[in-house]
Chain A
Amino acid sequence: MRRRRAIVLPALAAAAALALAACGGSSGGSGGGSSSSAAGYNAAVTKVVSPSTHKGGTIAFGNSSTPDSTDPGNTYYAYMWNFVRYYTMPLMTYKSCPGSCGLQVVPDLATGPGVVSDNGLTWTYHIQPDVKFEDGTTVTSQDVKYAVERTFDRGLFPLGPAYFTFLLKAQKPAYPGPYKDRSKNLMGLNAIQTPNPTTIVFHLAQPFADFNYVVAIPQTSPVPPSKDTGANYQLHPISVGPYKFQSYQLNKQLTLVPNPEWKASTDPNAKQLASKITMTMNMNANDIDNRLLAGDLNVDAAGTGVQAAARAKILSTPSLKASSDDPIAGFTWFAALNTTLKPLNNVHCRIAIEYAASKTGYVDAYGGPVAGGAIATSVLPPNVVGHKSFDLYGAASDPGGNVAAAKQQLKLCGQPNGFSTVITYRSDRPKEVAAAQSMQASLARVGIKTTLHGFPTGTYDGNFAGVPKYEAQHDIGISFYGWAPDWPDGWGYMYYIVDGKAISPAGNTNLSQLNDPKVNDLLNKMASTNNDATRNSYASQIDMQVMKDAAIMPGVWAKSLLYRSPNLTNVYVESYYGMYNYAVLGTK
């Protein structure tokens, strides 16, 4: 028989790889951690790491999914509100500085905060006269008005926030958006006036003291009506920021290059250092972490922290840990307790849950103190303006739960042997699943028997937990959820989750269906009080009342373990986003 040449099998290599599999996780830092002196664990939470004015280089972002939209009028993701600062300038923005300094809202396109008049119903802003679009034309107030008008077409732009549609003075018939606008030069929204090219006046339906925060949303970044392409604008928004779109393959890769028309003097909260910025989308999340560590990527766009595998590697390797930060992410994971469902409609039954649930179990489900976050003793996270620390039910002092107190509460609500109810959660989030299971176990100790019922995130709000009728029909008493504020003050955090007016038949976010006149009243007062100090004092009062009502069982004040690529300069955590400030990054 003729001999055949030996075939080198890739299988052999793989077999060898199998033998090496055990060594995969423990090998120390590769490539990435080779910088001579990493600034230290959590260095970027309080100060700027590697400050530099060095220009050039590429910042490579990796994204495990896709942006909801790159159109500033149509995005709601926290990391996108951070990322769009590369090519947008809303009227106001958050100050670019580390620590609680970054919670302040400061003028961006505007020259100063809004001037309030007319008993809080009119807000006037002046904009800088010499800001230019990437095509060289000067930005006028009409471009800002047009940008806001776009947000009224909810059919074309359903994904962004809807504040302008209900805060601004209504008109009849309702303003249909600029694409159905029949008025001259598309300025049909009466609630906004532009008396001259540098002045814009907003007329509100009710006084709303937080309006400066509202105009910090990217939706007020100017859009030139002549260059608007509607649903296709996301493919190339006309930039007023330090960078502009060079190319965008939808769902695949976005490339930004410096915008020559941008002037640093008009935009102190952003920098133009790198010569290219790329975002690669739909990457495998673990792949992103590995490339971050290897140095092939600089930033994980989502900014919510590394996955479990990389986390273990980072925390166990001192050189890697010195290049990581564990900031407060700015949101709370919690379980909403259905205030309308028997027997939870009795406050004592709800307080029983507050006592019985194991807080350590909840935090561990999210990855423990470093990866998950801190035990939440109330709803408002610590980085919200006006936060005050209190602990009504011993969450911090008895983190394993207080069985005796729980049983006491059960007696008070007439269910001394416990009761049954259903727990819902988002089944495609492993941490949330684990938290639900932990809750089930801890409640069982006091006789509260629960059934677990999970739903995918995509349909959770719209079809299940977020549909009050569904919750009633299916005995859903406990719904796991999470919430990050649209802006970092009490109203921005609390309104949608505890205000009675926010309850909606589908897509509901007030999962407790709380309708407490005291809470509603405090929120109203917050909205109409202009004095900052007074207004912010309401935040903790609302928090306290919600906890007294036991409408929410707070779980975790989330933290994210972020890896700080050694190649980046000007790295620090921007408090409001709970992740690195993208607008100021550069490379070495």
Chain B
Amino acid sequence: MITFIIRRLIATVFLLIVVSAITFAIFFLIPRLAGQNSYQLATEYVGRNPSRAAVLQVEAKLGLDHPLWVQYGNFIKGIVVGAHYNSGTSTTYCPPPCFGYSFKSQQPVWPQMVSDLPVTLSLAIGAAVIWLVAGVAIGVISALKRGTLFDRFSMGIALAGVSLPIFFTGLIALELFSYKWPLFPNVQYVSFLTNPFLWARNLVLPWVCLAFLYAALYARLTRAGMLETMNEDYIRTARAKGLPERTVIFKHGLRAALTPIVTIFGMDLGLLLGGAIITEYTFSLHGLGLFTILAIDNQDLPEILGVTMLAAFFIVIANLVVDVLYAVVDPRVRH
């Protein structure tokens, strides 16, 4: 198991390098294929009516006139050993991992991502707990009460949940519960350390909207899994042993049905940690998702690279955790 994890971690490093190279390529090469040169690229980072001299200075400052492999090399160097940045009056040292400086604000990228991370973490993990508990519970009940009113009703709602986009449910939630009846006024992220109560209260609407989407999915998955599992022979054996029905359902049935759920949960959470883009945008939460949109909007390469790699990192780690968990959960995989 340990060797397995170590091998995967090494593969992670390679994967991140590949991801960064691809992002680099997309950012630079595709416009170049359309005929853009570095001078034209630099004009995006200058104000209105730039003079030629200004554009050239920006080109030089951002290093856009260097060959691509040099720029990429500098980027990797920054991550590994850090970089120095001349802010005019002084030279600051940006310690590793240094994802460079924003093209737009000239401020270091990594601290910005780090400050946005708790928002995304709070949003993702809070919603994840809710959707997992709600989804699995509803799925189990629906499976056990298959065909009843509860089952049909909950699967109907689940269909809605899976089909309705977050910007729709989010806007409705805001309209009703934030503007019209101010139960949750001023949805704005407050750090847990500053005020845990406000932190939770302001996240309720985003949590619920995000969780609604996933809970629906997980309810359907759990229901299907449970229905399948409860038909298995070992369930019949469990009952034949005289186990209480509750034990049969949970220890024998749900335990088996949860295996695919665990896998998917790991993937979903990993993806979300890279930024729940739409949710954050709808609720104006300054997390990694919003950071991503803005970085792309501003064509801010260091920010784009930083957030892409961070998101990739989360996904890869989530994959790894899921694979390890799978071996823990299903003994057949271990041997």
**A adjacent to B, CB under 8 Å:** yes
Binding site for B on A (CB under 8 A): 1-2, 4, 7, 9-15, 17-18, 20-21, 24, 27, 30-31, 65-66, 68-69, 76, 153-156, 158-162, 165-166, 174, 177-179, 228-232, 234-235, 249-252, 280, 282-284, 286-287, 290-291, 293-294, 296, 458-459, 461-463, 466-467, 470, 496, 502, 504-507, 509
Contact A507 B174 (CB under 8 A): no
Contact B54 A1 (CB under 8 A): no
Contact B89 A230 (CB under 8 A): yes
Contact A11 B88 (CB under 8 A): no
CB distance from B280 to the nearest CB of A (A): 9
Binding site for A on B (CB under 8 A): 31, 34-36, 39-55, 57-58, 60-61, 86-90, 104-107, 112, 115, 130, 134, 137-138, 141, 144, 154, 157-158, 160-161, 164, 169, 171-176, 178-180, 182, 185-186, 188, 208-209, 211-212, 215-216, 245-246, 281-284, 286, 290-291, 294, 297-299
A66 to B176, CA, bound (A): 28
Q: Which chain B residues lie closer than 8 Å to A162 at the CB level?
A: 47, 49-51, 54
CB distance from B33 to the nearest CB of A (A): 12
Residue from the set A158, A250, A459, A461 with the largest chain B CB neighbour count within 10 Å: A158
Known contacts A76-B48, A156-B106: does B54 contact A11 (CB below 8 Å)? no
Residue from the set A1, A12, A231, A467 with the largest chain B CB neighbour count within 10 Å: A231
A228 to B176, CA, bound (A): 48
Contact B298 A458 (CB under 8 A): yes
Chain B residue, CB-CB nearest to A24: B175
Q: Which chain A residues lie closer than 8 Å to B134 at the CB level?
A: 7, 9-10
A496 to B50, CA, bound (A): 11
CB distance from A219 to the nearest CB of B (A): 11
Chain A residue, CB-CB nearest to B62: A155
Contact B57 A155 (CB under 8 A): yes
Q: Which chain A residues lie closer than 8 Å to B112 at the CB level?
A: 250-251
Sample of 5 further A-B pairs with CB below 8 A, known A9-B154, A153-B57, A284-B283: A2-B246, A10-B130, A12-B157, A14-B173, A230-B86
Contact B89 A179 (CB under 8 A): yes
Contact B43 A507 (CB under 8 A): yes
A582 to B321, CA, bound (A): 52
Partner of A507, one of B50, B89, B282, B297: B50
Contact B55 A506 (CB under 8 A): yes
Residue from the set A69, A165, A249, A287 with the largest chain B CB neighbour count within 10 Å: A287
A156 to B215, CA, bound (A): 48
A165 to B57, CA, bound (A): 13
Known contacts A69-B105, A294-B185: does B58 contact A155 (CB below 8 Å)? yes
Residue from the set B61, B106, B141, B291 with the largest chain A CB neighbour count within 10 Å: B106
Contact A154 B215 (CB under 8 A): no
Chain A residue, CB-CB nearest to B186: A296
Q: Which chain B residues lie closer than 8 Å to A280 at the CB level?
A: 188, 284
Contact B44 A11 (CB under 8 A): no
Chain B residue, CB-CB nearest to A297: B186
A10 to B173, CA, bound (A): 11
Q: Which chain A residues lie closer than 8 Å to B291 at the CB level?
A: 251
A161 to B283, CA, bound (A): 34
CB distance from B158 to the nearest CB of A (A): 8
Contact B141 A294 (CB under 8 A): no
A228 to B88, CA, bound (A): 9
A228 to B89, CA, bound (A): 7
Q: Which chain B residues lie closer than 8 Å to A20 at the CB level?
A: 172, 176
Give how many A-B residue pairs fall within 8 Å (CB-CB).
213
A153 to B212, CA, bound (A): 51
Residue from the set A10, A76, A162 with the largest chain B CB neighbour count within 10 Å: A10
Known contacts A287-B284, A509-B49: does B43 contact A293 (CB below 8 Å)? no
Q: Which chain A residues lie closer than 8 Å to B46 at the CB level?
A: 154, 158-159, 507
A235 to B246, CA, bound (A): 60
Partner of A506, one of B40, B160, B216: B40
A213 to B53, CA, bound (A): 24
CB distance from A331 to the nearest CB of B (A): 12
A156 to B281, CA, bound (A): 30
Residue from the set A283, A461, A462 with the largest chain B CB neighbour count within 10 Å: A462
CB distance from B192 to the nearest CB of A (A): 16
12 A-B contacts (beta carbon < 8 Å): A1-B245, A11-B160, A158-B58, A161-B48, A235-B107, A251-B286, A252-B115, A282-B284, A286-B171, A287-B284, A296-B185, A506-B40
Q: In the A-B complex, list the 6 residue pairs whose CB atoms are closest, starting with the nearest.
A: A230-B88, A462-B43, A155-B61, A154-B54, A231-B106, A230-B87
Contact A165 B51 (CB under 8 A): yes
A364 to B104, CA, bound (A): 34
Partner of B49, one of A14, A15, A161, A505: A161
A462 to B37, CA, bound (A): 10
Q: Which chain A residues lie closer than 8 Å to B161 at the CB level?
A: 11, 14
Q: Which chain B residues lie closer than 8 Å to A509 at the CB level?
A: 48-49
Q: Which chain A residues lie closer than 8 Å to B154 at the CB level?
A: 9
Known contacts A30-B179, A290-B179: does B54 contact A158 (CB below 8 Å)? yes
A290 to B31, CA, bound (A): 38
Chain A residue, CB-CB nearest to B55: A507
Chain A residue, CB-CB nearest to B60: A155
